[in-house]
Structure 1
């Protein structure tokens, strides 16, 4: 009996410590940041698929995990503030999209600052992609694909999917085809995702190092109706530091950052300008219309 009890405890410990594995698919996204310009940019995005769900996000911060970790550890040891904006490339897209398996219910997440603490705000959605599958086929890279079209978010989309990759998933919110989406773009090529490769992640972690060291693992998550989400994000983009400003007394603003000649006020002013410039330079959203769409 004692031996059986020990075996049960070992089994429980094994399950508790079992590492989650994921299939990571790399999508190169070519997009037009500004709606009145033909200029395009490129960024690598990832779709991580586990047995329970998928997670789509910008790969930029995940790819810099080791750089961020070294910089943070150096600051902790020296006690000297270091402006990480000079060494870290910030992501073009801060949002994440989770799809639960097998039901494929979606959660859209984004981050904003509330006072001195980052928070995550999101909404649940079950978008209906009315796919029209065509008999047309095409070889894209190493993948044999088939064509499908749909309309979503005010844009007309053409997708190419592969039945050889048995996931009814894809980048961004796209899903529901009988195979993984290998390529998808809108009619005017504002946004175009192309699958560039994949690999197995044995010890998969959802949070990047930067998120893990942030208060609450990147911020407390609040799920709200999409209408409220859109209005909240619109207000935030107009004035990113609105909730923080009442807390910033002159005494706080005049303090020097540890080991730096830069004051708290100067740092916040710099961050505010960077945030405003970012949103001004990225005013061509993936979804241009919808029942809750708010112009930022």
Structure 2
């Protein structure tokens, strides 16, 4: 991050002269999928901001979108929509995105009411002066460090509405950590997703439950193809009972969602 400080400071000095421009903020995300294990996963995330609209999504998805400019078939193969959020302050709405089986779904919600507690404590993070704030959100206690000198009331995932950009935010157990690494001015727009099926929270929960009960429904119905080979390399008929038991165990082990209070309670 330090090598980007000079670029960052230049952008900061020009922000007021570039209202209406798109800015791209890079975050390093570290998170635990299984709360019973110490292993963490890492993901590079992007936050695109333009006026009252923002989009938080993975770098891998951005890379796929870039390739899709030259190959339209590539975009259909992208599946990294985990943690993606779009925020529209003008409409007072946010939208979350999910892939369940072969289908893509979106859940639109009212703008979250985040009851931030701003604390006088400050610290310097890579030459950026930051102030502390705390928040309880959907089952987790969060600690954020935001920079007043960066005039974006924005941050990763749903987090926003502090008087400055969130530079670092993590829950009290360090299950989820977001750290800003870079800020750039971008010439593009904030692209909004359209090819998703809108659902309610109740419908989404039912979709997850149905998927748990029969995760290979589409395969068994011939809507998709799975090639299974044995140790000798011969193609064999999938053992769906065994595959289902393995997938159900995997789903149960992925017991540490970022919105802890919304975790699906599998049987």
Give the TM-score range, shorter chain: 0.7 to 0.9
Counterparts of 1:126-275 in structure 2 under 5 Å?
126-204=111-189, 206=191, 219-224=195-200, 226-242=201-217, 244-245=218-219, 247-248=221-222
Give the distance between the partners of 2:49 and 2:58, measured in 1 at CA.
15
Write the distance in 1 (CA, Å) between the matches of 2:94 and 2:146. Answer: 20
Show the counterpart of 2:257: 285
Deviation digits for residues 49-92 of structure 1 (CA, Å, limit 9, x no counterpart)? 1224111112223234556777877x9xxxxxxxx8xxx9x64x
> 2:197 and 2:115 mapped to 1: Cα distance?
30
SS at structure 1 position matched to 2:260 = coil
**Residue equivalent to 1:7:** none
Structure 1 range deviating more: 180-189 or 104-113 = 104-113
The 10-residue stretch of structure 1 (98-107 or 50-59) with the greater mean CA deviation from structure 2: 98-107
Q: Deviations over 1:76-122 (max 9, x none)?
A: xxxxxxxx8xxx9x64x5342111124642111212345xxx33232
Cα shift at 1:221? 2.8
For the aligned residue pairs, the C-alpha RMSD in angstroms reads: 3.9
**8 A Cα contact 2:97 2:104, kept in partner:** no
* Cα distance, 1:246 vs structure 2: 6.2
- After TM superposition, the structure 1 stretch with the greater mean CA deviation from structure 2, 229-238 or 49-58, is 229-238
Change (3 A) 1:247 1:240: same
CA distance, structure 1, for counterparts of residue 136 and residue 123 of structure 2: 21
Distance 1:262 1:229, change over 3 A: farther
Question: In structure 2, the residue corresponding to 1:43 is in which secondary structure?
Answer: strand
- Larger Cα-atom Rg: 1
**Unaligned stretches of 5+ in structure 1?**
1-19, 76-83, 212-216, 256-260
Deviation per CA, 1:126-151, whole angstroms, max 9, x where unpaired? 32211111000111123211000011
State how far apart, in whole Å, the 2-side matches of 1:254 and 1:147 are: 49
Question: Per the alignment, do residues 103 and 166 of structure 1 end up closer, same or farther by CA in structure 2, a change over 3 Å counting?
Answer: farther
**How far apart are residue 262 of structure 1 and its match?**
9.8
Distance 1:188 1:110 in 2: 25
Give matches, 1:56-67, under 5 Å.
56-65=56-65
